[in-house]
Every structure is written in structure tokens, then in C-alpha cells.
Amino acid sequence: MAARHQFVAAGFEGASVRSIAAEAGVDPSLVIHYFGSKDRLLGAVMAWPVDLDEIAEQVVAPGPDGVGERLVRFFLAQWDDPSKRHPLTVIVRNAVSHEEAARLLAEFVRRELVGQIVPLVGEATAELRGSLVASALVGVAMTRYVVRLEPLASAPADVVVAAMAQTIQRFLTGDLTSV
Amino acid sequence: MAARHQFVAAGFEGASVRSIAAEAGVDPSLVIHYFGSKDRLLGAVMAWPVDLDEIAEQVVAPGPDGVGERLVRFFLAQWDDPSKRHPLTVIVRNAVSHEEAARLLAEFVRRELVGQIVPLVGEATAELRGSLVASALVGVAMTRYVVRLEPLASAPADVVVAAMAQTIQRFLTGDLTSV
């Protein structure tokens, strides 16, 4: 709870492992030992159920070709996993109803997603590309899993992948300036 | 409130102007006089702030060429209108937190959007195309206006249009089966 309080009060940049450890009354090295990094600690505070290393390995590492398709497949697999659907839904619900949760989610997505895609696309456009990808994936999550808009809600994952992969690929590696 | 109760209890298909009028203790012709149709009545129940005739006239009527760009521009103009941002945000919030609101929104979007795009794309794929377009637009609304993910939240509308128009155009009129 010290971590949540510090993140909410000071934001991700403002909060430090030192300040969080001080508020919790423990040594900063203990925080790092258990959580690994400030990013991981924020993920734990948000009850983030997706392993970021898996995104790096399965989606990003094979390179830019086909990254759109791999990311859509990975994303759907997370939401289609019964043990992850509920925590992911809670994160979306909190972000929509609480401004501070929205701010933490935005900061987390921005840092994590942008950090992962910089090797693929370079620094210059990574932030805009990251937020466009997030927008497309949040849209699928909302309509397919939360609002359950048909026929998207019941469509097989392969249909959604075929429909979405080009868009995600273009958001990541394509030209974004020509209508 | 008779209308809300009937829509929630019986769904859009199950509720009739006659049953709503009966619960409200008025003549069905009075309901039609004030609201025009069952669709309009559902829109009124949801406090839907967008004029559907404007979508038909400004977005759909000019034909399939450029409909993606026109729809993104129209959508952003609604959310960027200070008098509409709040009611739209309330609709999104309610849909995420209340299952019945999600069901009504899904039914409304499905009927209205699909009805509007059938002339452009034909019956066979209109439902899937409609839900993909809804997914993309809901994603923009969530990230740009609700969660306020940067740099998408502060990007000029023209940047968002340039980034999104191709995707919406393809969802409406393109091939959805090739990755």
C-alpha cells in the first residue's frame, strides 16, 4: 500500500523505490529483491496479470516482420485465458472509473509498450505508435470482452487476428501520415 | 423510465412501443409522436448525444470512397465538442460498470452502425465490419479521452485522422481475411 500511495501521490516518475521503502518501513534493497524494479512494482500494484518478458520474447524478439499478427494473437490469448480475464477486466474498469487508476495505467502502458517497441521502430515515433497500438487493443478488449459486442465477441481468434493484424502492423512499422 | 425498464427487462427486440406506452400509461401514438421510433427512444434512454442523421448525411451519403476518413473526423468532432464529451464519457463509464448498460449500448451500436453501413458494404459482412469499426473508435475514445494516454490524448485531430482513416476504411470496405 506504500507503493500504491506513492505512485498515486507522486506519479511513476516522482515515486522512488527509496520513498516507497521508507513509507513501508523496510530497506530499499528488500523492495528490489522482491519486485526487481520500480516498473515491476507498479505492475504488482496494478495487479497486472501479463508477463512482460513473454511479450518481449514471443512478440518483439522475432523482429518487425509479422509483429502485428503476433501481438494480436498474444493479446487475445491473454484475454481468452480464464485466469487473466478477470484481473484484466478489473484494470479496465478501474481505469474508466478512477482518474488515478487511469493515470497509472496510462503511465504503465506508455513506458512498457514504448520501451518494448523502440528496438523495432526507433525512438522518434515510438510514443505515438505505442499509443495507437494501445488504442486498438483497448478497443478490442472493450468491445469483445467487456461490452460483448457481437459478432466480434463470439468470433474465433483467427478471424480477429486476420481483421486486426494489418492495422497493428501499420501502427508499429508503417507510414502513419498518409490518409 | 418505463422505456428504460422495458429495454433492460426485455432487451431492444423484446420491448415494444406498445409495452413501453402501456407501462407509462400513455397511448403508443404519443410515444411515436415524441420520439419518432423505438431506436430514437433507446437513444433518448441512453442520453445518446450524437445526431444519427448527421452520420448518415455527412459520413455515409457521399459513398464508400473516403468514408473511413470522414467517419474518424466526425467521431473526433463529437468527442472534441465540450457539450458532448461528458455525456459520451458517461455512456462509456456506464457500459464498463453495468452489464445492462453494456447490453443496451452493444445493441444500439450494432443496430445503428450496421444499419448505416449496409448500403456501403452489403448485408453479408456488415455485422462484423460494424463491430470492428466500433472497436477501433471505442479504443480511440478510451485512450484519447478517458484514460488520456499520451501522445494520443494531445495529438491534433489531423494526426489521429491520418493514423486511423486507413484502418476504418479497410474495416468498412476492404478485405478482412488476409493477414
Closest alpha carbon to A131 in A172, A94, A177, A82: A172
**Cβ contact (<8 Å) for B152 and A102?**
no
Residue spans of the domains in chain B: they are 1-45, 49-173
pLDDT value of residue B170: 94
Of the candidates B128, B140, B149, the beta carbon closest to that of A110 is on B149
Which pLDDT tens digit goes with each residue over A1-56?
Answer: 688 778 777 777 788 888 888 888 889 888 888 888 887 787 777 777 888 888 88
**Cβ contact (<8 Å) for B110 and A134?**
no
**Cβ contact (<8 Å) for B170 and A167?**
yes
**Cβ contact (<8 Å) for A139 and B139?**
yes
**A115: pLDDT strictly greater than 90:** no
ipTM of the complex: 0.83
Choose, out of A96, A168, A172, the residue to mutate when testing the contact with B (most B CBs < 10 Å).
A96
Contacting residues of B for A155, CB less than 8 Å apart: 128
Of the candidates B102, B110, B161, the beta carbon closest to that of A146 is on B102
Q: How confident is the model at residue B94 (pLDDT cuts 50, 70, 90)?
A: confident
Per mean pLDDT, which range of A59-68, A76-85, B13-22, B125-134 is the poorest?
B13-22
Residue B95 C-alpha cell reads as 457500459
Comparing B1-45 with B49-173, is the CATH topology the same?
A: no
**A150: pLDDT strictly greater than 70:** yes
Closest alpha carbon to B175 in B105, B125, B108: B125
Block residue for cell numbers 426485455: B10
Q: How confident is the model at residue B72 (pLDDT cuts 50, 70, 90)?
A: very high
Is B139:A142 a contact under the CB 8 Å cutoff? yes
The residue ranking higher by pLDDT, B6 or B58, is B58
Q: How confident is the model at residue B152 (pLDDT cuts 50, 70, 90)?
A: very high
pLDDT value of residue B65: 93
Is B58:A168 a contact under the CB 8 Å cutoff? no
Contacting residues of B for A170, CB less than 8 Å apart: 166-167
Looking at the domain A1-45, which fold is it? Arc Repressor Mutant, subunit A (1.10.10)
Which pLDDT tens digit goes with each residue over B18-55?
Answer: 888 888 888 988 888 888 888 778 777 777 788 888 88
B49-173 homologous superfamily: Tetracycline Repressor, domain 2 (1.10.357.10)
**A179: pLDDT strictly greater than 70:** no
CATH number attached to the domain at A47-173:
1.10.357.10
- CA separation for the pair A168, A139 (Å, rounded): 12
Per cent of chain A over pLDDT 90 is 36
